Amino acid sequence: MKMALRACLRTKPGLTALLSQLSCSGHAAARRAPALVAQRSSSSTSQKIKVDFDQSSGVAVMHMQSPPVNSLSLEFLTDVCIALEKLEMDKSCRGLVVTSSQPKVFSAGLDILDMYGKSPEHCAEFWKAVQEMWLKFYGSNMITIAAVNGSSPAGGCLLSMTCDYRIMADNPRYSIGLNETKLGIVAPFWFKDTMVNTVGHRATEMALQLGLLYSPAEALKIGLVDQLVHEDQVLTTATETMTKWLAIPGILNISYTCHFFHLWCCNLVCTICSCVCQVIAAKKIHLSQDF
Ligand SMILES: CC/C=C\CCC/C=C/C(=O)SCCNC(=O)CCNC(=O)[C@H](O)C(C)(C)COP(=O)(O)OP(=O)(O)OC[C@H]1O[C@@H](n2cnc3c(N)ncnc32)[C@H](O)[C@@H]1OP(=O)(O)O
């Protein structure tokens, strides 16, 4: 699916325009950008993101370092998007590993404090930044691997699902999943679609209806993560795995992209139809209540 979006962003200007309406590159560009120096190995740091780029392998590691739990605030999301944009522009960067510098937590998901009691303008900007992060990761030309070295609920799980591959620390104290239902929030349809593309319809239905958080072993069983390793080995395994992915010629990725792009279009049409049906149904209920 990620590859489908990738192809769509590359080849379909109309759809790119449509998607970019969801996006907000403007606000990201306005902020300070962590510099990526073209040398054999470089390191760039914003307040909340550290990027180590090894030019000989073409692989960058993005360390999320927003204490205490890497919650996705507007500021943090903006830093992530800027770092990603810079890596994307550097054609020598072919692979990206995303991980956490915080102990025990990959990301706690959307920053609850950034969603509560804020102005409508702030909420709009915040929500656009969430969508931009999703678009940038899912549509990335780089191979992306999530090194999930701690718990990853809700938006944290979404972030990991936008990557091509997920490696999680095998620690039963950690959990991962879209638990929005348990918080009394409906997960947006594109959260749902991302999960469907990862684990399939039935597993997603169960996960969302019940707001399930999975242990690493359970997550592996339903395919929410691809591999479990000891905590100490999450990052090294991610970089080793990256080597295998980068050995596949990019052209083959593009050909799979075409198959997945077809699926993605079907999904989008279904979602639009379903929205129209819901509006019609709601209007009918409203009219019937008038009588
Ligand atoms: C406009 C939006 C509309 C719809 C949105 C729909 C989609 C929503 C997606 C989301 O992502 S909603 C967020 C859901 N997130 C969660 O449910 C995670 C909640 N947190 C946890 O489960 C745990 O904190 C943990 C991540 C497992 C880590 O546990 P740990 O025991 O290590 O830490 P502790 O719980 O003590 O937390 C430390 C510290 O961090 C604060 N915190 C935790 N999560 C968040 C968060 N998501 N946003 C902001 N702050 C968070 C927590 O309050 C503690 O703060 P304190 O030290 O000041 O008390």
Catalytic residue flag (residue 240): no
> What mean pLDDT do residues 35-51 have?
71
Name the pTM for this structure. 0.83
Q: What is the mean pLDDT of the chain?
A: 84
Catalytic residue flag (residue 58): no
By percentage, how much of the chain surpasses pLDDT 90? 67
Per-residue confidence (pLDDT) for residue 6, from 0 to 100 = 54
Tally Cβ neighbours within 10 Å of residue 7.
21
Query: Could you read off the pLDDT of 13-37 as tens digits, one per residue?
Result: 333 333 333 333 434 433 434 444 4
* Residue type present at position 46: S
Catalytic residue flag (residue 218): no
Name residue 214's beta-bridge partners.
176
Name residue 51's beta-bridge partners.
44, 62
Tell me the C-alpha distance between 28 and 38, whole Å: 22
Ligand 1 atom nearest to CA at 186? 6
> What mean pLDDT do residues 200-227 have?
98
Band of residue 251 on the pLDDT scale cut at 50, 70, 90: low
Query: Could you read off the pLDDT of 89-143 as tens digits, one per residue?
Result: 999 999 999 999 999 999 999 999 998 899 999 999 999 999 999 999 998 999 9
pLDDT over threshold 90, residue 245: yes
- Residue 60 parent element (H or E): strand 59-64
- The residues, ordered by sequence, that sit 6+ positions from 83 with a Cβ below 8 Å of its Cβ are 34, 44, 46, 49, 51, 62
Lowest mean pLDDT among 162-171, 228-237, 252-261: 252-261
> What mean pLDDT do residues 212-222 have?
98
Per-residue confidence (pLDDT) for residue 24, from 0 to 100 = 36
Q: Whose CA is nearest to atom 59 of ligand 1?
A: 68
Ligand 1 atom nearest to CA at 69? 40
Name residue 41's beta-bridge partners.
54
* Strand ranges inside 109-243, DSSP E: 143-148, 152-153, 165-169, 176-177, 227-229
Nearest Cα residue to 163 out of 148, 153, 178, 176? 148
Q: CB of 151 closer than 6 A to ligand 1?
A: yes
Per-residue confidence (pLDDT) for residue 31, from 0 to 100 = 41
Instruction: Kindly state the DSSP code that residue 165 receives in the 8-state scheme.
Output: E
Per-residue confidence (pLDDT) for residue 3, from 0 to 100 = 55
Instruction: Kindly state the DSSP code that residue 32 receives in the 8-state scheme.
Output: -
Per-residue confidence (pLDDT) for residue 220, from 0 to 100 = 98
Q: Is the ipTM of this complex over 0.90?
A: yes
Query: Could you read off the pLDDT of 261-284 as tens digits, one per residue?
Result: 666 677 777 777 877 877 777 777
Burial 153-183 (b: 16+ CB within 10 A, else e): bbbbbbbbbbbbbbbbbbbeebbbbbbbeee
Q: How far is CA 86 from CA 38, 71, 81, in A?
A: 12, 22, 9
| CA geometry: angle 219, 255, 147, nearest 5 deg | 30
Catalytic residue flag (residue 9): no
